[in-house]
Amino acid sequence: MATAKAAPEGAGDVWTWTAIDRDSKMILAFEVGDRSAETAREFMFDLADRLANRVQLTTDGHGAYLKAVGDAFAADIDYAILIKIYGQTDGGKGHERK
């Protein structure tokens, strides 16, 4: 059985942030970086610059989005946060499922 190589010194997480249009599935903006508030802000300002009209924006529950969306769009956005909760429908304990 093969084993994975160890990550090089200084390696870290890299995330690809994407904004996808609900209808066309077109990627409107993307950002590659960490999960910081600074990266969220860069991503949201880039997205705001690409949109000509007021839109509805839905993000996951990552805390960095809240301020970034407010800074980039001010009051010119309909914004929602969608948090999915995975688990048993009967409330019992067990493995998470998707």
Instruction: Tell me which residue has tokens 């090089």.
Output: 8
- pLDDT for 11-55, tens place per residue? 888 999 999 999 999 999 999 999 999 999 999 999 999 999 999
Q: How deeply is 75 buried, as exposed, middle or buried, from its count of CB atoms within 10 A (0-12, 13-18, 19+)?
A: exposed
| pTM value surpassing 0.75 | yes
Phi first, then psi, for residue 15 (nearest 5°) are: -120, 145
Distance CA(63)–CA(15), nearest Å, equals 15
Sign of CA dihedral 54, 77, 15, 86: negative
